[in-house]
């Protein structure tokens, strides 16, 4: 699905990048990022959703789980900006709380994939032959599954819950980071300064932490931002199929699934959660794109 | 070239074997007994135990695995636990439905995506360009199941333009020959049925095609930009060739190389992404087939279904790789 | 090579442009109105799931039976609106004094769809096939007739053809609902010749005596049956055929009905009821209730081993609100496990009713006035008795919270769910039951007798008093006496409160106003033999 947005990893030319970024690569990147209007818009969207996620209890006009059957399916109005759902709960409130869940799932699952993926990638790239072959084949196998299918199977094994959905999403993204870091490691390994470092007896761990990982940071950040976007959609898809969050959790995908039967009578119950997903994901995608342009010198005009 | 092909196919075998193995292990780790699901709520305990034994589920997993692999090598995909039919009989109609849908989605994606990308590149930094790129990003950001619902709501229900679900007008049923209904209706020369089939394909096709469309548009645009900056295009323009000619004749050809790769990648993934689209549009495809099988613990169906999808995916990528190698003389093997 | 690639892309472009052209032209022609009257007599039935197979004796699910009902007929049938037995393939019957011998006279001159004769021999062959089978092949047979030939508990001693058109059943012991069982969907008679011919594939090639003949099955899409021109009841069926179309999603099925893509749909969301009623092109059909939805407690697990706690929760469930919100007013609140369609329902048993104060008192008595934490299991699937288990659980969850009971909603896949509650792993769970043959025994004994713990007595309710009453009722032939026994049992059950009986739902079907003479049967599926459609 949407992780395809990220399946064209930046083809960086490390030497050129190095020279250009020697002075202050991060500040340079920020300068170019700031000039990119779409990227800034994305960053504001992301910041906005993160903010409402954090201050949800302060701004939410109602409680997200107290039911008031008399207020079932009220159309959007001054009292309920986005209307109410089947249980008479305020949809705006549920969307605000839902931001917590979606952003949490997106970030944590990607953090998990980055950690596991990078570790495996480093091991594969650095230590070599046999281990490399095994790890790479496992990545190939995981990537050969349609990701949502694999996620469904994993959740079926573990049982449907938000936590298990998060694990499933983290798992299917592991190879993306694994491959990325592995290729970085392989290319860095060729560099003369690494050979030099080895020659003077520098420890493996030091080489890893001082040279290999910093070199992988930029692509990981870009890929990670885009992966959060995908993870949010996937979490919503699992919720939609009934395999993610359980009631009364106001997860956006679940809200959609619960209300899709009422699309005729109460379209607001379907439209708003979908818009919320779309805008959040759009934010991360715009930001990821901007980061790629800023951090990847090849795309720089 | 030949040796590369052989080597590349050789690499596939462990991947496919690994996939079957993983699926096999994983599915058996899922709690739940197919016998219970087959017999339903009214079933007695003894009946469930008896059926479990009959289905061979009391055997240790490795025995089951060996049996399954043996069958696979004889071209036998096993038997559905639920319907007791050979899976090979049930699989094709479902697969055909998905292939047809994915094909249409791909066509929509390629036509719109490539053209939008080209024009965007040509009018770089214009409002059109920004608009297309923003729409493309929105396309990527949209949950496919929500988009499908919205399509149904606005196009099918509010405007009453297109049918909501299914593959055909059941009042004028199609006689299946290949199960690819576009083809079947053409073979039978039944044009009104053909139109009916196309009508049923549009909404799910758009829903499924949106993401690849967006990705193709972005990819086309960026590779076009790169090509258009190259010397020979500049020369062509300097010679006074008209812009559309330059764009469509000279640049596109070269820009297509990375685009083809993306198209290949997408085509494979469409097969899997179809699950959500099929759920929304009641499409009797392989996604529906596998999803149902997961919820009824129909192990052989899940295994074979995933195996078939993944094999297709892997082979499409293989073909793309080979094509790529053939087109681009810079790549050596 | 580059050229050919370009050509390929160009080709795809052109092809797709061509297609796009078709689309637009066709879209516009659609506005001109519906296709002409071709196949006006074919009814399209939208259903929520595909049939599993079409050998009725082998199947257990309603999605299969709704199709087999059209192709096959059992020896006896039910009346239109209840489960009283009336003639079917057998035109009359006699029962011996000791209730052990049933002699059935068959209709003459009936032929199966494959042209072979229906006669006593065919009936015997069908029964022998079933009784020599096993749970994997004919699961329902054992549930209704006590087992298979090899089992001790098997009720039927012998089935024999007395003459060409007379069949005699000899039982080992009296079975009160025997005739009702014979009329059930799974015990419809198949052509013995076809069984021999198709072997394992009979489930895809059904041959019966029914009003419609099987034509085609596109899996997960459609099943087509066409009129049986030589049907034995003169002038029937009225329809030229029925096409079953699978539309899994409830709202999508409703949309298809509104748009006229289908003529009749089942499992209508109660929330759509008003929409059908307000549309003069549509009509509502209510299926009389033969089910019960309930919240069961595991009576062996704390705190639900205390009667007071169970009763307290009975006071905390607001059934009227549930009915109003999730059944759109189409269900009746349940006070006892038996729906009113079933003889034996005790009308004197009064529902607990919603009462927070009484609930608090009872909880205090049980020493739980501070509340407690519990898991509340919710069904993952939509069933006729409960369209959406998770939402009902969510509503109950909110009510329990008022007395500090923290309910955590848990769910599993359907198969796992059933297995786990059967094994008693759940403390409290939503579930329900649809009657098989319309007999009280099929509810009370199956669901609440101590014999059926580990089977369908998910509450693991063990009451010797109830057991005694139920066993007595099983071996009594006099219907009036049986009713008295069942009513006594219901009273005890009400007091012990192993469940919160929630509702008796009336499944709703929606159809176009063209449909005439359709009567949904309480058992959940019915033949369309008399249905017609006006043009």
Question: How do C291-297 and C499-504 pair as beta strands?
Answer: antiparallel
Secondary structure in 3-state letters for B138-156: HHHHCCHHHHHHHHHHHHH
Distance from the Cα of A61 to chain C's closest Cα (Å) equals 19
Q: What is the pLDDT of residue B329?
A: 57
Given strand C42-47, what is the order of strands in its sheet? C212-218, C222-227, C241-246, C42-47, C264-265, C508-512, C282-286
Nearest-angstrom CA–CA distance, C265 and C44: 9
In a domain, A281, yes or no: yes
Which CATH number is C473's domain given? 3.10.105.10
| CATH code where residue C249 lies | 3.40.190.10
CATH assignment of B95-327? 1.10.3720.10
- CB contact under 8 Å between A67 and C410, yes or no, is no
C255/B162 touch (CB, cutoff 8 Å), yes or no:
no
pLDDT tens digits, one per residue of A69-118: 778 888 898 889 999 988 889 999 999 999 999 999 999 999 999 999 99
Predicted pLDDT of residue C308:
93
**Whole-number pLDDT of residue C19:** 45
How many angstroms separate the most distant Cα atoms in chain C?
Answer: 92
How many domains does chain A fold into?
1
Claim to verify: residue C282 and residue C386 sit in the same structural domain: no
**Structure confidence at residue B42 (pLDDT):** 67
Beta-ladder partners of C282: C512
- Which domain does A250 fall in, by range? 30-55+92-299
Is residue C36, in this structure, part of any structural domain at all?
A: no
Is residue A231 in a domain?
Answer: yes
**Domain assignment present for C51:** no
Predicted local distance difference test score (pLDDT) of residue A23: 57
Mean pLDDT of A196-208: 78
Element (H, E) at A258: helix A252-259
C380–A67 C-beta distance less than 8 A:
no
Q: Is C492 helix (H, G, I), strand (E, B) or coil?
A: helix
Better pLDDT: A246 or C282: C282
Q: From CA C359, how far away is CA C356, in angstroms rounded?
A: 5
Do residue C258 and residue C351 come from a single domain? no
State the Cα–Cα distance between residues A10 and A300, nearest whole angstrom.
12
Range of the domain at C259: 212-287+508-533
- List residues of C whose CB lies inside 8 A of any A CB: 249-251, 254-255, 269, 271-272, 275, 321, 324-325, 378, 380, 390-391, 393-395, 397-398, 409-413
Interchain contact A227–B (C-beta under 8 A): no
Contact B27, B78 (CB under 8 A): no
Pairing of strands C508-512, C282-286: antiparallel
C451 close to C460: Cβ distance less than 8 angstroms: no
For residues A249 and A21, the answer to whether their CB atoms sit within 8 Å is: no
Q: Which residues of C touch B155 (CB under 8 A)?
A: none
Cα Rg, chain B, nearest whole Å: 24
pLDDT along chain C (535 residues), means of 10: 46 45 37 38 90 87 90 92 88 89 91 92 93 82 83 88 92 87 92 90 91 91 92 88 88 86 88 86 90 94 91 94 86 92 88 92 91 90 83 91 90 78 90 87 89 85 93 84 93 94 91 91 88 86
What sign does the dihedral B53-B57-B60-B66 (CA atoms) show?
positive
Q: Give the nearest partner residue to A242 out of C251, C255, C380, using CB atoms.
A: C380
Residue C30 C-alpha from the chain's centroid: 38
In whole angstroms, what is the distance from residue C297 CA to residue C317 CA? Answer: 14
Domain co-membership, C434 together with C455: yes
Q: Do residues C102 and C189 both lie within one domain? A: yes
Locate CATH 1.10.3720.10 in chain B: 95-327
| Whether residues C432 and C317 fall in one domain | yes
Q: Please tell me whether residue A295 adopts helix, strand or coil conformation.
A: helix
Q: What are the C-alpha distances in Å from C454 to residues B33, B37, B152, C266, C380? A: 16, 16, 45, 32, 21
Using CB atoms, which residue from B26, B145, B211 is nearest to A4?
Answer: B211
Question: B17: which chain A residues are within 8 Å (Cβ-Cβ)?
Answer: none
Half-sphere exposure of B156 (CA within 13 A, CB side): 33
Q: Cα-Cα-Cα-Cα dihedral of B202, B204, B208, B213, to 10°? A: 20
Kindly list the residues from chain A whose CB atom is less than 8 angstroms away from the CB atom of residue B271: 146
Contacts of C30 by beta carbon, 8 Å cutoff, 6+ apart: B161, B162, B199
Instruction: Give burial (CB, 10 Å; 0-12/13-18/19+) of C32.
Output: exposed
> Is residue A219 one of the residues assigned to a domain?
yes
Q: Is A258 on the interface with B (CB under 8 A)?
A: no
Q: What is the pLDDT of residue A16?
A: 47
**Chain-chain contact of A274 with B143 (C-beta, under 8 angstroms):** yes
User: Residue C491 falls within a domain, yes or no?
Assistant: yes
**A288 lies within 8 A of chain B by CB:** no
Q: How far apart are CA C127 and CA C158, in angstroms?
A: 10
Last residue of a domain, one of C196, C221, C248: C196
Q: What is the pTM of this model?
A: 0.81
For residue B145, give every residue at least 6 positions away whose Cβ sits within 8 Å of its Cβ, in sequence order, or none.
Answer: A237, A240, A256, B276, B277, B279, B280
d(CA B298, CA B296): 5
Based on the fold, state whether residues C183 and C260 are members of the same structural domain: no
Instruction: Provide the CB-side half-sphere exposure for C470 (13 A, CA).
Output: 25
Mean pLDDT by 10 residues, chain B (333 residues): 75 79 77 73 74 79 83 84 84 90 90 90 87 88 89 86 85 83 87 90 92 88 82 75 71 72 72 80 88 79 83 78 67 50
Domain count for chain C, please give it: 3
In a domain, C15, yes or no: no
CATH number at residue A284: 1.10.3720.10
Query: Which residues of A fall within a CB distance of 8 Å from C325?
Result: 69, 72, 86-87
Q: Are strands C101-106 and C156-163 parallel, antiparallel or unpaired?
A: unpaired
CA distance A111 to A224: 8
Could you say which of A146, A154, A273 has the minimum Cβ distance to residue B271?
A146
Torsion of Cα atoms, B283 then B287 then B291 then B297, to 10°: 120
- What local confidence, expressed as pLDDT, does residue B190 receive? 86
Report, as an integer, the average pLDDT of A259-269.
Answer: 84
Beta pairing, strands C76-78 & C90-95: unpaired
Is A19 a domain residue?
no
| Among chain B residues, CA nearest to C46 | B170
DSSP character at residue A85: -
Same domain, residue pair C427 and C398: yes
- How many CA atoms within 13 Å lie on the side-chain side of B191? 5
The answer to whether residue C367 is domain-embedded is: yes
- Asked if A248 is an interface residue toward chain C (Cβ–Cβ < 8 A), one would say yes
For residue C255, list chain A residues with Cβ-Cβ distance below 8 A. 264
Number of residues that make up chain C: 535
Query: Is there a cis peptide before residue A78, judged by omega within 30 degrees of 0?
Result: no
Contact residues on chain A for C397, CB-CB shorter than 8 A: 247-248
Burial pattern A193-224, b for ≥16 Cβ within 10 A else e, equals ebeebeeeeeeeeebbeebbbebbebbbbbbb
C444 vs C297: CA distance, rounded Å:
16
Same domain, C182 and C298: no
Mean pLDDT of A133-156: 84
Residues of chain B found within 8 Å of residue C140, distances taken between Cβ atoms: 42
Give yes or no for A47 touching B (CB within 8 A). no
Q: Which of C140, C217, C229 is nearest to C185 (CA)?
A: C140
For residue C261, give the nearest of B84, B161, B164 by CB distance: B164
Q: Give the pLDDT of residue C361.
A: 93
Nearest-Cα residue of chain B relative to residue A287: B137
One domain for residues C379 and C348: yes
CB atoms A160 and C412 under 8 Å = yes
Beta carbons within 8 Å of C371's beta carbon, 6+ residues apart: C363, C403, C404, C405, C406
Nearest-Cα distance to chain A for C380, in Å, is: 8
């Amino acid at each position: 699905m949407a992780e395809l947005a990220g399946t064209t990893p930046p083809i960086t030319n490390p030497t050129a990048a190095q020279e250009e970024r020697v002075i202050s690569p991060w500040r340079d990147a920020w300068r170019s990022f700031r000039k990119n209007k779409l990227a800034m818009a994305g960053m504001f969207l992301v910041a906005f959703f993160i903010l409402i996620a954090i201050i949800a209890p302060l701004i939410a006009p109602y409680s997200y789980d107290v039911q008031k059957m008399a207020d079932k399916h009220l159309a959007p109005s001054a009292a309920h900006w986005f209307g109410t759902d089947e249980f008479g709960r305020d949809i705006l409130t549920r969307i605000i709380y839902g931001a917590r869940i979606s952003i949490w799932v997106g970030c944590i699952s990607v953090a998990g994939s980055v950690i596991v993926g990078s570790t495996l990638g480093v091991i594969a790239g650095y230590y070599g032959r046999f281990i490399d072959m095994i790890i790479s084949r496992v990545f190939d196998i995981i990537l050969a599954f349609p990701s949502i299918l694999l996620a469904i199977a994993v959740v079926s094994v573990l049982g449907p819950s938000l936590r298990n959905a998060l694990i499933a999403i983290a798992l299917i993204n592991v190879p993306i980071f694994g491959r990325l870091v592995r290729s970085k490691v392989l290319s860095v390994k060729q560099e003369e300064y690494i050979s030099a470092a080895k020659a003077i007896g520098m420890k493996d761990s030091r080489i890893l932490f001082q040279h290999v990982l910093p070199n992988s940071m930029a692509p990981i950040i870009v890929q990670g931002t885009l992966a959060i976007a995908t993870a949010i959609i996937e979490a919503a898809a699992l919720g939609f199929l009934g395999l993610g969050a359980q009631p009364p959790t106001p997860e956006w995908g679940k809200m959609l699934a619960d209300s899709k039967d009422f699309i005729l009578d109460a379209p607001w119950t379907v439209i708003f959660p979908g818009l919320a997903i779309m805008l959040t994901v759009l934010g991360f995608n715009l930001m990821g794109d901007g980061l790629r342009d800023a951090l990847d010198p090849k795309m720089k005009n | 070239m030949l040796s590369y092909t052989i080597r590349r196919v050789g690499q596939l075998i462990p991947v496919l074997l690994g996939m079957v193995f993983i699926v096999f292990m994983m599915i058996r780790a899922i709690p739940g007994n197919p016998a219970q699901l087959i017999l339903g709520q009214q079933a007695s305990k003894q009946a469930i135990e008896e059926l479990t034994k009959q289905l061979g589920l009391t055997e240790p997993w490795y025995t089951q695995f060996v049996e399954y692999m043996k069958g696979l090598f004889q071209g036998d995909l096993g038997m559905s636990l639920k319907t007791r039919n050979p899976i090979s009989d049930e699989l094709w109609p479902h697969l055909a439905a998905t292939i047809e849908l994915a094909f249409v989605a791909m066509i929509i994606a390629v036509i719109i995506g490539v053209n939008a990308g080209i024009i965007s590149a040509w009018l770089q930094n214009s409002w059109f360009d920004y608009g297309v790129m923003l729409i493309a990003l929105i396309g990527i950001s949209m949950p496919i199941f929500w988009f499908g619902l919205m399509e149904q709501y606005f196009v099918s229900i509010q405007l009453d333009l297109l049918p909501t679900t299914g593959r055909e007008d059941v009042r004028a049923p199609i006689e299946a020959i290949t199960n690819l209904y576009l083809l079947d209706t053409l073979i039978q020369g039944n044009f009104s049925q053909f139109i009916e089939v196309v009508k049923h394909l549009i909404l799910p096709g758009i829903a499924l095609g949106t993401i690849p469309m967006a990705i193709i548009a972005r990819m086309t645009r960026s590779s076009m930009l790169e090509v258009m900056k190259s010397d020979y295009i500049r020369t062509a323009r300097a010679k006074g060739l008209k812009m559309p000619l330059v764009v469509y004749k000279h640049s596109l050809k070269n820009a297509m190389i990375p685009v083809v790769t993306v198209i290949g990648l997408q085509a494979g993934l469409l097969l899997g992404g179809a699950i959500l689209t099929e759920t929304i549009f009641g499409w009797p495809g392989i996604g529906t087939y596998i999803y149902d099988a997961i919820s009824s613990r129909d192990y052989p169906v899940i295994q074979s279904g995933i195996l078939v999808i993944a094999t297709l995916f892997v082979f499409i990528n293989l073909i793309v790789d080979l094509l790529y190698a053939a087109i681009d003389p810079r790549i050596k093997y | 090579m580059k050229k050919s690639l370009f050509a390929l892309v160009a080709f795809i472009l052109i092809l797709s442009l061509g297609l796009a052209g078709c689309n637009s032209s066709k879209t516009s022609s659609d506005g001109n109105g519906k296709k002409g009257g071709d196949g006006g007599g074919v009814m399209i039935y939208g259903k929520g799931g595909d049939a599993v197979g079409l050998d009725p004796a082998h199947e257990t699910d309603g999605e299969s039976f709704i199709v087999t009902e059209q192709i096959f007929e059992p020896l006896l049938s039910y009346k239109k609106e209840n489960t009283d037995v009336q003639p079917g393939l057998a035109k009359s019957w006699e029962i011996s004094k000791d209730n052990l011998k049933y002699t059935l006279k068959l209709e003459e001159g009936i032929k199966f769809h494959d042209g072979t004769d229906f006669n006593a021999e065919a009936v015997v062959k069908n029964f022998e096939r079933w009784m020599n089978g096993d749970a994997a092949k004919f699961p329902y047979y054992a549930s209704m007739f006590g087992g298979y030939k090899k089992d001790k508990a098997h009720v039927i001693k012998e089935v024999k053809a007395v003459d060409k058109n007379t069949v005699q059943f000899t039982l080992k012991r009296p079975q009160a609902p025997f005739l009702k069982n014979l009329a059930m969907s799974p015990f419809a008679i198949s052509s013995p010749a076809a069984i021999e011919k198709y072997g394992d594939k009979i489930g895809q090639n059904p041959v019966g005596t029914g009003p419609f003949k099987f034509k085609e099955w596109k899996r997960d899409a459609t099943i087509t049956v066409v009129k049986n021109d030589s049907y034995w009841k003169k002038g029937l069926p009225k329809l030229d055929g029925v096409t079953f179309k699978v539309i899994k999603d409830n709202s999508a099925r409703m949309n298809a009905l509104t748009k006229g893509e289908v003529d009749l749909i089942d499992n209508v969301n109660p929330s759509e009821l008003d929409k059908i009623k307000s549309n003069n092109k549509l009509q509502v059909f209510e299926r009389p209730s033969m089910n019960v939805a309930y919240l069961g407690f595991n009576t062996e697990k704390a705190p639900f081993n205390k009667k007071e706690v169970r009763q307290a929760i009975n006071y905390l469930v607001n059934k009227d609100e549930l009915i109003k919100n999730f059944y759109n007013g189409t269900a009746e609140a349940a006070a006892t496990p038996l729906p009113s369609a079933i003889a034996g329902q005790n009308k004197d048993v009064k529902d607990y009713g919603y009462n927070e104060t009484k609930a608090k008192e009872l909880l205090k008595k049980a020493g739980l006035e501070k509340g407690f934490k519990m898991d509340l299991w919710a069904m993952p699937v939509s069933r006729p008795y409960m369209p959406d288990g998770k939402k009902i659980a969510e509503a109950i969850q909110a009510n329990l919270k008022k007395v500090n009971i923290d309910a955590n909603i848990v769910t599993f896949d359907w198969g796992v769910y059933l297995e786990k509650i059967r094994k008693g792993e759940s403390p409290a769970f939503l579930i329900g039951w649809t009657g098989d043959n319309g007999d009280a025994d099929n509810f009370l004994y199956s669901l609440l007798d101590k014999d059926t713990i580990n089977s369908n007595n998910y509450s693991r309710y063990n009451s010797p008093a109830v057991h005694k009453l139920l066993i007595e009722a099983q071996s009594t032939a006099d219907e009036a006496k049986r009713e008295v026994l069942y009513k006594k049992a219901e009273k005890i059950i009400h007091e012990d409160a192993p469940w919160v009986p929630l509702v008796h739902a009336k499944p709703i079907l929606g159809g176009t106003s063209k449909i005439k003479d359709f009567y949904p049967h309480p058992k959940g599926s019915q033949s369309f033999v008399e249905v017609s459609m006006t043009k």
